[in-house]
């Protein structure tokens, strides 16, 4: 795709080559690699925190009846688990990857607005400490589901809603500023000669994702603001008695929410499109069709939001419109899956851990995509709505989709980040334990949902007991398997086999032309791209 | 190597301003959170924490921006850097547009769907007869289904004056910009000063309008979906005008200190873009909230 033709000079920039040490280095940093590292560690801590909440949920659901937690606390767990995984784990992990890799991939000295970059990160831990602290308040934390539907979040909410609202505001500010930084970096800091259609696909997907973020995070801010005024200032946006409508909440929320789910999957497409060609030792099949498919998905994401609300009693024309638009998304997504498979076709494939996670991504994300198609059909959705089928669907796309792609990316670039090769043996353990347990965890949920088990409840009818037992066992195993990754990363940082500049022989891109670990400042003068 | 052709891109040193700003936002969030949560009792120190947070944000903005201004005056910024700032500001304004879009969306949804449906439109006749048979769907919604009544704000008088003020100020801001580009510093100061005064006058009239609405029309934030959308849209717009006016005042001071050249005046440009943006939002407001 792109090659740098000049010899690269990697001396630190003379006027700011001193690195502060200790905590100040991390608090005051303007370096994209430091900030990327902060994002990645933060997201992993959040993954374990949100994961611990999932363990509480699965422990309660291990058998029918109420045994471990109160129903209200169970609701707080499902709510905060969702919020943390979406806004605390997946999105910051992608931003972390973007921070680390984008400037190196496009030959830029750093992100375009480095101080803003620092601010975008450091407000996040504060936002999540507010959210987590609300769990310990007298009234308990948010208990209305991560989608905070009115009137659960307004009329019937507990005393911590204001804290939830302001925490979400801060998360939104962080995402918007991070996204502006990504857009400006890509538009303005590409090395001379790197035209848009020469950018690595990873860069393309983050570019489009950042646009989605700038467009919809402010809508989320508006939504939570209306929830705040409805709860505390007597407005009735979501209250029919004052002329509003609770269904209006769902429209505004999902206008944010649907692009949001693509915000969490488009970067995954970029990562997988980087890794599969490297280990198939072939060029990516259909680069430009990938770009157009990503753009189409991003556009369509704005006109499908009401497929989350088929059962609210929309006019028939609305249901048909949203059903057909939703199904259209299968076309560009199918293009992508086809291209990944075509890239692997007749390639000289090897299966190091990044590739294992990527291949698993293609298969399991496709399963999540197919269950999405089933949910897209309005009449059928009447049966599936708010059941475990939906839970299975979005965990297939978010865990075996987004999270697996993040793992794939982490394994792929760990040598570049740390300068050491990770332990392939531990990596394979992590992969195989994860892939078996994650399917045990989420696949039976399809059957539970089809049989009618509703989501977000602490207890269930007896006929669901067997499946739930296996699901919980899968959940605990999957949770424990992630600790292998923690051990692997710590070992990789501490030492291990020295990594060459380019540890994967099929890898392409500017990031492999700098030594491993990548120098603190990469391109103080941009490389020429031919 | 292309070093000769390429100006180096300035990557700032470590800075302590972002973390100051992060702590400030944290104080604002917990302060506002506990203030709002204790609104009915008025207990707690939430309000003071909120004020401390706001003070800290102001301190942060001063410190951060003075660093940026010093760097800019020292000639450290290349044309590419200037471009980054411009693009950053444009996308920030776009995000603001989407923020207002959420509230305009709520307004249009209420007018096109929820209020007519409550009045029995579509297939909702039975729902209406069971819930609120007395309800009459109309816009402005001066009587809500549960019986809260209010008066509607007309478009003549204060709102019309405000429209004229703000539209004029957009022109004066543009004239100031043209004067800056032609390096006519005296003209620049006059037009910019007039713009600031027009902005302040707008805010005064807006406060006047709110007092009138609350004291003699019974139009409050809590008077049903009409009052909700009216006050949230005009209120957030008013906050943006306040911020824009502050930005223009800062630009005025910087012009007096001799900052900006015809070729290099990103901050002025950004403040002017922002001002045009609040103006466009007001025109939308005037059409959809007041006239139609």
Residue of A nearest to B236 (CA): A222
Exposure string of B100-114, with b = 16+ CB inside 10 Å and e = fewer, is bbbbbbbbebbbebb
Measured between alpha carbons, how far apart are the two ends of chain B, in Å? 62
Cis before B140 (ω within 30):
yes
Per the CB < 8 Å rule, is B225 touching A241?
no
Q: Distance between CA A145 and CA A153 in Å, rounded? A: 9
Say yes or no to pLDDT of A2 above 70. Answer: no
Helix ranges, B110-138 (H): 115-118, 125-131
pLDDT at B193: 97
Per the CB < 8 Å rule, is A122 touching B115?
no
Per the CB < 8 Å rule, is A218 touching B101?
yes
Say yes or no to pLDDT of B2 above 70. Answer: no
H, E, C per residue of B13-54: CCCCHHHHHHHHHHHHHHHHHHHHHCCCCCCCCHHHHHHHHH
Say yes or no to pLDDT of B165 above 90. Answer: yes
User: Out of A15-19, A132-136, A197-201, A453-457, which region has the weakest mean confidence (pLDDT)?
Assistant: A15-19
Give the residue carrying structure tokens 């991070």. A178
Say yes or no to pLDDT of A8 above 90. Answer: no
Phi-psi region of A437 (alpha: psi -120 to 50; beta: other; left: phi over 0): alpha
Radius of gyration of chain A (CA): 23
The two three-digit tokens of residue A300, written as one number: 């369509």
Q: What is the residue extent of each domain of chain B? A: 15-76, 77-291
pLDDT tens digits along B24-43? 999 999 999 999 998 888 88
Say yes or no to pLDDT of A11 above 70. Answer: no
B101 interface with A at CB cutoff 8 Å: yes
Per the CB < 8 Å rule, is A116 touching B88?
yes
Per the CB < 8 Å rule, is A109 touching B232?
no
Best-predicted range by mean pLDDT (B37-46, B119-128, B189-198): B189-198
From chain A, pick out residues whose CB is under 8 angstroms from the CB of B118.
Answer: 240, 243
> Do A149 and A253 form a contact (C-beta atoms < 8 A)?
yes
Model confidence at A19, pLDDT cuts 50, 70, 90, reads low
B79 interface with A at CB cutoff 8 Å: no
Measured between alpha carbons, how far apart are the two ends of chain A, in Å? 10
pLDDT at B136: 93
B19 interface with A at CB cutoff 8 Å: yes
pLDDT at B12: 87
pLDDT tens digits along A352-369? 999 999 999 999 999 999
- ipTM of the complex in this document: 0.95
Q: Distance between CA B178 and CA A320 in Å, rounded? A: 52
Query: A288 burial class (0-12, 13-18, 19+ CB within 10 angstroms)?
Result: exposed
Give the DSSP letter string of A116-151.
HHHHHHHHHHHHHHHHHHHTTSTT-S--STTTT-TT
Give the residue carrying structure tokens 């001193």. A18
pLDDT at A5: 41
Residue of B nearest to A234 (CA): B222
Report the residue from A30, A223, A236 with minimal CB separation from B13: A30
A-B CB pairs within 8 A amount to 237
A19 versus B177: which is more confidently predicted? B177
How many CB atoms neighbour CB B121 within 10 A? 14
> Do A402 and A264 form a contact (C-beta atoms < 8 A)?
yes
pLDDT at B39: 86
The two three-digit tokens of residue A29, written as one number: 């940093």
Q: What one-character DSSP code corresponds to residue A460?
A: -
Say yes or no to pLDDT of A67 above 50. Answer: yes
pLDDT tens digits along A482-500? 999 999 999 999 999 999 9
Beta pairing partners, B149: B143
Q: What percent of chain A lies above the pLDDT cut of 90?
A: 92
The two three-digit tokens of residue A10, written as one number: 């990697």
Average pLDDT over residues A256-268: 97
Determine the distance from the C-alpha atom of residue A470 to the mean position of all C-alpha atoms in its chain, rounded to a whole number.
Answer: 26
pLDDT tens digits along A306-353? 999 999 989 999 999 999 999 999 999 999 999 999 999 999 999 999
Most B-contacting residue of A131, A242, A303 (CB-CB within 10 A), to test interface:
A242
Say yes or no to pLDDT of A13 above 50. Answer: no
From chain B, pick out residues whose CB is under 8 angstroms from the CB of A179.
Answer: 91
Please give the CATH topology (third level) of the domain spanning B77-291. Answer: 1.20.120
From chain A, pick out residues whose CB is under 8 angstroms from the CB of B11.
Answer: 13, 16, 30, 109-110, 114, 521
The two three-digit tokens of residue A385, written as one number: 């709505």
* C-alpha distances in Å from residue A190, one per residue of A110, A185, A519, A525, B186: 11, 7, 19, 11, 40
Say yes or no to pLDDT of B6 above 70. Answer: no
Average pLDDT over residues B148-152: 93
Per the CB < 8 Å rule, is B221 touching A234?
yes
* Closest of A529, A483, A403, A485 to residue A55, by C-alpha: A483
Tell me the residue ranges of DSSP E strands in A283-404: none
Query: B126 burial class (0-12, 13-18, 19+ CB within 10 angstroms)?
Result: exposed
pTM of the shown model: 0.95
* C-alpha distances in Å from residue A273, one per residue of A104, A170, A261, A299, A336: 17, 32, 19, 20, 9
B17 interface with A at CB cutoff 8 Å: yes
**What is the overall mean pLDDT for chain B?**
93
Give the DSSP letter string of A161-220.
HHHHHHHHHHHHHHHHHHHHHHHHHHHH-PPTT--GGGS-HHHHHHHHHHHHHHHHHHHH
pLDDT at B7: 62
pLDDT at A15: 43
B126 interface with A at CB cutoff 8 Å: no
Average pLDDT over residues B256-260: 93
Q: Distance between CA A228 and CA A168 in Å, rounded? A: 11
Average pLDDT over residues A217-230: 97
pLDDT at A1: 41
pLDDT tens digits along A119-175? 999 999 999 999 999 999 998 999 999 999 999 999 999 889 999 999 999 999 999
pLDDT tens digits along B72-125? 999 888 889 999 999 999 999 999 999 999 999 999 999 999 999 999 998 899
pLDDT at A9: 42
From chain B, pick out residues whose CB is under 8 angstroms from the CB of A235.
Answer: 221-222, 227-228, 232
Residue of B nearest to A133 (CA): B30
Report the residue from A112, A159, A181 with minimal CB separation from B37: A159
Query: B256 burial class (0-12, 13-18, 19+ CB within 10 angstroms)?
Result: exposed
Say yes or no to pLDDT of B4 above 70. Answer: no
């Amino acid at each position: 795709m792109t090659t740098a033709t000049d010899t690269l000079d990697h001396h630190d920039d003379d006027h700011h080559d001193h690195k502060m040490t200790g905590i100040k280095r991390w608090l005051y940093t303007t370096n994209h690699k430091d900030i990327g590292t902060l994002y990645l560690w933060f997201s992993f801590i959040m993954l374990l925190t949100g994961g611990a909440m999932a363990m509480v949920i699965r422990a309660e659901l291990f058998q029918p009846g109420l045994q471990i937690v109160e129903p209200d606390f169970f609701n707080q767990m499902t709510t905060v688990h969702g919020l943390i995984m979406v806004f605390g784990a997946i999105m910051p992990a992608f931003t972390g990857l973007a921070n680390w890799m984008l400037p190196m991939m496009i030959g830029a000295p750093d992100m375009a607005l480095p101080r803003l970059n620092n601010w975008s990160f450091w407000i996040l831990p504060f936002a999540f400490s507010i959210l987590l602290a609300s769990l310990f308040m007298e009234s308990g934390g948010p208990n209305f589901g991560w989608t905070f539907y009115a009137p659960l979040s307004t009329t019937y909410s507990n005393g911590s809603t204001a804290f939830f609202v302001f925490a979400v505001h801060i998360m939104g500010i962080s995402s918007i500023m991070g996204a502006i930084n990504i857009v400006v970096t890509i538009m303005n800091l590409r090395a001379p000669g790197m035209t848009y259609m020469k950018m690595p696909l990873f860069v393309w997907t983050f570019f489009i994702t950042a646009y989605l973020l700038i467009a919809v995070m402010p809508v989320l801010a508006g939504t939570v603001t209306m929830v705040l005024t409805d709860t505390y200032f007597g407005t009735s946006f979501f209250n029919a008695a004052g002329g509003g409508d609770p269904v209006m909440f769902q429209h505004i929320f999902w206008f944010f929410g649907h692009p949001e789910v693509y915000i969490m999957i488009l970067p995954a497409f970029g990562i997988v499109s980087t890794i599969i060609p490297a280990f198939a030792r072939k060029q990516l099949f259909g680069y430009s069709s990938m770009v157009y498919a990503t753009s189409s998905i991003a556009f369509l994401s704005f006109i499908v939001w009401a497929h989350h609300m088929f059962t609210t009693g929309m006019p028939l024309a609305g249901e048909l419109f949203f059903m057909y638009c939703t199904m259209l998304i299968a076309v560009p997504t199918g293009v992508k899956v086809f291209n990944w498979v075509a890239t692997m076709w007749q390639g000289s494939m090897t299966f190091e851990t990044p590739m294992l996670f990527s291949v698993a991504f293609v298969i399991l994300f496709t399963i999540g995509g197919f269950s999405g198609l089933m949910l897209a059909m309005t009449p059928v959705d009447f049966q599936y709505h708010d059941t475990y089928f939906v839970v299975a669907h979005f965990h297939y796309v978010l865990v075996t989709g987004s999270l697996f792609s993040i793992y794939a990316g982490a394994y792929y670039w760990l040598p570049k980040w740390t300068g050491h090769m990770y332990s392939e043996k531990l990596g394979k353990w992590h992969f195989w334990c994860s892939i078996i347990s994650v399917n045990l965890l989420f696949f039976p949920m399809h059957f539970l949902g089809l049989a009618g088990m509703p989501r977000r409840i602490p207890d269930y009818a007896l006929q669901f007991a067997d499946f739930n037992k296996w699901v919980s066992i899968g959940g605990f195993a999957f949770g424990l398997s992630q600790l292998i990754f923690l051990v692997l990363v710590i070992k990789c940082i501490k030492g291990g086999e020295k990594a060459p500049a380019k540890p994967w022989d099929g890898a392409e891109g500017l990031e492999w032309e700098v030594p491993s670990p990548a120098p603190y400042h990469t391109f103080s003068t941009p490389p020429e791209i031919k | 190597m292309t070093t000769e052709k390429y100006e180096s891109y300035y990557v700032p040193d470590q800075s302590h301003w972002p973390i100051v700003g992060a702590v400030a936002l944290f104080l604002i969030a917990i302060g506002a959170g506990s203030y709002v949560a204790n609104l009915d009792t008025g207990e707690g120190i939430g309000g003071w924490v909120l004020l401390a947070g706001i003070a800290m944000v102001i301190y942060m903005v001063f410190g951060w921006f003075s660093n940026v201004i010093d760097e800019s005056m020292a000639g450290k910024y290349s044309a590419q850097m200037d471009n980054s700032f411009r693009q950053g500001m444009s996308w920030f304004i776009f995000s603001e547009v989407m923020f207002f879009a959420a509230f305009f969306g709520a307004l249009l949804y209420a007018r096109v769907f929820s209020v007519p449906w409550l009045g029995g439109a579509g297939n909702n006749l039975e729902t209406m007869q069971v819930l609120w048979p007395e309800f009459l769907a109309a816009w402005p919604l001066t009587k809500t289904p549960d019986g809260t009544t209010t008066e509607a704000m007309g478009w003549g008088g204060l709102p019309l004056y405000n429209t004229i003020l703000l539209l004029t100020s957009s022109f004066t801001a543009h004239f100031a910009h043209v004067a800056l580009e032609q390096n006519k510093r005296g003209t620049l100061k006059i037009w910019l000063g007039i713009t600031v005064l027009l902005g302040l006058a707008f805010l005064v009239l807006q406060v006047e309008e709110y007092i009138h609405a609350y004291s003699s029309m019974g139009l409050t934030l809590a008077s049903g979906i009409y009052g909700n959308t009216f006050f949230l849209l005009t209120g957030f717009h008013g906050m943006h005008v306040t911020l824009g006016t502050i930005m223009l005042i800062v630009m005025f001071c910087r012009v007096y200190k001799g900052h900006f050249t015809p070729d290099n005046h990103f901050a002025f440009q950004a403040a002017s873009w922002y001002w045009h943006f609040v103006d466009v939002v007001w025109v939308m407001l005037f059409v959809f909230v007041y006239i139609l």
